[in-house]
Structure 1
Amino acid sequence: MLEVTANLPRGPVFLAGETLCCDVTFTNTSKENQSGYEILAWASVQIICQCTVCESRVQLPRENILSAEEASSTGCDTSFVPNKAHGKHFLKNIIEGERGLTVLCTKPTILFCDLKLAPGMSRTYQYEEVIPTDAPPSFRGQAVKYSYKVIVGTQRLEKATKMVRVPFRVLVLYGLNDISVYNETEEIAPSNPFLHNCRKETSVLDVALQVISTVTARKTPHSYNITNARGRVAKFLLFKQAYKLGEDIVGMFDFSVGTVPCVQYSVTLQSEEQISEECRRKPSQGTTVTSYVKHQEMCLHTVRSHVNIPIPLTATPGFITDIVCQRWRLHFEFVTSLTDIPGPESALSDTEERLWQGPSTLNVETMVWDLNIKVFPTNPIHASSVTLMKTSATIHLGD
């Protein structure tokens, strides 16, 4: 009996441009007192990204169709994934009924040929592949889905090919195509005459974290006056407009400047999934909105109120591809009164008790407001700590 295990030691979340490392272990699980070798003819590894669309809402343009020659030039002719028998159709996955379009397919890497394992013996191979910086991010929307897998294929002599699949997640930060622009040259880099000048190359992850920290740093607060046809409702202060996954969106309402009484407000973190015009099944179809976190509070006779909304680490940052675009926003709803509501009378002293009874009915109206924000990726190691994806997969090859 042979056992094949694929493991991602760093975790299941990576940044586009990083090098993915996968340890592939082949073990002969037969007892040592048993005779005979187990022989594997070959083993190969590659990365694929599949795009699954809702056919009732998305139609893919003809420009995305890959011909047989184009598919062969990507190295897919020796892979497990696409079927290019029909050059006039999209590349389709034929792995045991999996459905979807293969939008990324790395060249297969041969781990070995003709491997012999004695009972109880195991061999481990390390597979490394750079995730392209122009790859789409992992995304699970209502109309479009992008999913990544590491696929290990192996075959015993005169047996069918068996495969191990390890799913993983990809985050994309645009603008990392050339990290050399972030590396300081020797002419401008600070030097110390008492230390040996050893220049260290900057990794993609280091550059990405530096860029994310810069663009999401707190700068000048943004102030917004919230008004309706009858006057001013409140003033909203947002400390910044760019965030990374896992951060808290902190804001403050100032109702003391309002002339219209606000009874209740709610703030909801939402994402908008918009299909590109050439891929829409119906020209009139709009965007799909997904809500994540909602903060709701009663605010009648309130002077100030704070909002704290966390951005889930499992969410997908804003991105755009040829098929779909995702944006982020804060959705506000304000319930305002059409009539003035007298508050409690001022007490003569601070120790005096007061009791105020609100009206039993109110004549109100609701107003909504959307504020666009930007959401960027975070450290993939932090995102790995909350994911439910498994970092390894195992199959057994019997007789």
Structure 2
Amino acid sequence: MRLQYLTVSNKSAITKILIMIEVTGVLPRGSVYLAGETVKCIVTIKNLSKVSQNNVDCLAWASVQINCQCSVSDTRINLPNTRKLSSEEISPSSSDTSFVPNRGEQGMTVLSTKPRILFCDLKLRPGESKSFAFEDVIPADAPPSYRGQAIKYSYKLIIGAQMLEHPTKLLRIPFRVLVLHGMNDVSVYMDTEEVQPSNPFLKQEQNENNLLDIAMQVLATITARKAPHFYNITNAKGKVAKFILFKQAYKLGEDIVGVFDFSEGTVPCVQFSVTLQSEEQIAEECRRKVGHGSSYTSYVKHQDMCLHTEKTHVNIPVPLSATPGFMTDIVCLRWRLHFEFVTSCDPIPELERPERPDMSAMWCGPANLNVETMIWDLPIKIYPTNPLHACSSTQLKTNASITL
């Protein structure tokens, strides 16, 4: 923090007056947005000085813009001649008094909106404050927020301000971006025919959440339950089980519900596990080594014993903090259900049922069991959810402040 002092001298004493200007940024809608939505920020400038009302402090300027930084693992990714935005391209001057939003950031800038100037030569009396509204649209083709093993995409709203004869200071507010593919042209989903006549003398009210409403309708259609999918799980010795999945497309925060049917199995299954995994696949031209093609991350795991079980089910929640599937020039993210079945190589004797209902029977399993593990992967689709719902799981703050 750098402070500015004014010196007032007279015959009796010399007094130093502290001057402080506080810049605060607030995201009123929350910290999660869909690509194509408008980000709104309220920027408040307040003079915290405690001096006479006759003194007026002046701010030279303040500007706001949206940046997306991309950081890659040098041991896994080898970027070719990738086009990136340098500090000189974003700001023509590299001095400490110019607005360079990616100053001090790691990686490369893959997205940078045009800077919006909030004000120039703002004068505030001690205790006085003034607020400014900033709005900008996240490009529909922007990459999503993502933190993987080989690459990271992070978004920040950057506010730059400068006092006279002082270096520029930056205020960064991180936020999350979700991407729903197919929303590049919203007009496809809009009704162009107007049902009611419009009055040319009245200002037509536009629905600010029109894109969000359309996106939620598209998501509801894509992830709706249509027909169950049946999968016969077999190995070289016969049938292990039948798996029923009610749909293959899910939103963040939904539960993946499936049913196992072992009643028709000819191979005894002792134990099974189902794990929700994401596959991060690096583009072939960006791989540092051939073996660095794909990496997997496990999120939720369901494990159960199933010997002598006819039917059982699994319920796997999709975390709200996860990143839906996407594809860029560098990486592709896909989702799958990873199954592991522990089957017995030898027949296991069944439980002998009692002759009468009032009689009981006890079954003792073998002390040693010769087993083998079978692996099966089932691809699924993970889509975004309502950004307002995703805000409940994020740890990003919606406000930040800095003192000039």
Question: 1:76–1:105: 8 Å Cα contact kept in structure 2?
Answer: no
Could you tell me which of 49, 53, 71 is aligned with 2:72? 53
**Cα distance per residue 1:96-125 (max 9 Å; x no partner):** x32110000000000000111111111111
Aligned-residue offset at 1:77: 3.8
Could you tell me which of 236, 242, 255 is aligned with 1:235? 242
1:117 corresponds in structure 2 to 124
1:12 corresponds in structure 2 to 31
Structure 1, unpaired ranges of 5+: 83-92, 192-197
**Does the alignment pair 1:130 with 2:149?**
no
CA distance in 2, matches of 1:41, 1:104: 27
CA distance in 2, matches of 1:219, 1:393: 45
Aligned-residue offset at 1:358: 1.2
Question: 1:249–1:310: 8 Å Cα contact kept in structure 2?
Answer: yes
Aligned-residue offset at 1:344: 1.9
Could you tell me which of 168, 176, 188 is aligned with 2:183? 176
Structure-to-structure mapping, 1:20-59, within 5 angstroms: 20-31=39-50, 36-59=55-78
Could you tell me which of 315, 323, 333 is aligned with 1:326? 333
From the superposition, tell whether residues 222 and 65 of structure 1 become closer, same or farther in structure 2 (CA, over 3 Å). same
CA distance in 2, matches of 1:169, 1:205: 15
**Does the alignment pair 1:158 with 2:177?**
no
| RMSD of equivalent CA atoms | 2.1
**Does the alignment pair 1:102 with 2:74?**
no
2:393 corresponds in structure 1 to 386
CA distance in 1, matches of 2:53, 2:340: 72
2:296 corresponds in structure 1 to 289
CA distance in 1, matches of 2:159, 2:314: 47
Structure 2, unpaired ranges of 5+: 1-19, 198-203
Question: 2:287–2:293: 8 Å Cα contact kept in structure 1?
Answer: no
From the superposition, tell whether residues 372 and 27 of structure 1 become closer, same or farther in structure 2 (CA, over 3 Å). same
From the superposition, tell whether residues 388 and 65 of structure 1 become closer, same or farther in structure 2 (CA, over 3 Å). closer
From the superposition, tell whether residues 199 and 160 of structure 1 become closer, same or farther in structure 2 (CA, over 3 Å). closer
Question: 1:16–1:135: 8 Å Cα contact kept in structure 2?
Answer: yes
Counterpart residue identity of residue 49, structure 1: C
Aligned-residue offset at 1:148: 0.3
CA distance in 2, matches of 1:239, 1:136: 30
1:86 corresponds in structure 2 to none
From the superposition, tell whether residues 116 and 349 of structure 1 become closer, same or farther in structure 2 (CA, over 3 Å). farther
Q: Secondary structure of the equivalent of 2:291?
A: coil
CA distance in 2, matches of 1:3, 1:300: 66
CA distance in 2, matches of 1:381, 1:77: 38
From the superposition, tell whether residues 190 and 3 of structure 1 become closer, same or farther in structure 2 (CA, over 3 Å). closer
- Of structures 1 and 2, the larger Rg is shown by 2
Q: Secondary structure of the equivalent of 2:213?
A: helix
Aligned-residue offset at 1:67: 8.6
Q: Secondary structure of the equivalent of 1:62?
A: coil
Could you tell me which of 277, 283, 293 is aligned with 1:276? 283
Counterpart residue identity of residue 18, structure 1: E
Aligned-residue offset at 1:59: 1.2
**Cα distance per residue 1:145-201 (max 9 Å; x no partner):** 0000000000000001011000000000111111111112327x699xxxxxx9966
CA distance in 2, matches of 1:334, 1:81: 55
Between Structure 1 and Structure 2, how many residues are aligned? 374
Sequence identity of aligned pairs in percent? Answer: 64
CA distance in 1, matches of 2:263, 2:337: 22
From the superposition, tell whether residues 372 and 7 of structure 1 become closer, same or farther in structure 2 (CA, over 3 Å). same
From the superposition, tell whether residues 100 and 80 of structure 1 become closer, same or farther in structure 2 (CA, over 3 Å). farther
Aligned-residue offset at 1:4: 0.8
1:143 corresponds in structure 2 to 150
Aligned-residue offset at 1:364: 0.3
TM-score w.r.t. the length of structure 2 is 0.88
From the superposition, tell whether residues 255 and 116 of structure 1 become closer, same or farther in structure 2 (CA, over 3 Å). same
CA distance in 2, matches of 1:294, 1:328: 14
2:368 corresponds in structure 1 to 361
Counterpart residue identity of residue 186, structure 1: E
Structure-to-structure mapping, 1:302-381, within 5 angstroms: 302-381=309-388
Could you tell me which of 15, 18, 21 is aligned with 1:2? 21
Question: 1:32–1:120: 8 Å Cα contact kept in structure 2?
Answer: no
CA distance in 2, matches of 1:204, 1:314: 22
CA distance in 2, matches of 1:3, 1:127: 17
From the superposition, tell whether residues 38 and 65 of structure 1 become closer, same or farther in structure 2 (CA, over 3 Å). closer
Q: Secondary structure of the equivalent of 1:64?
A: coil
Aligned-residue offset at 1:256: 0.3
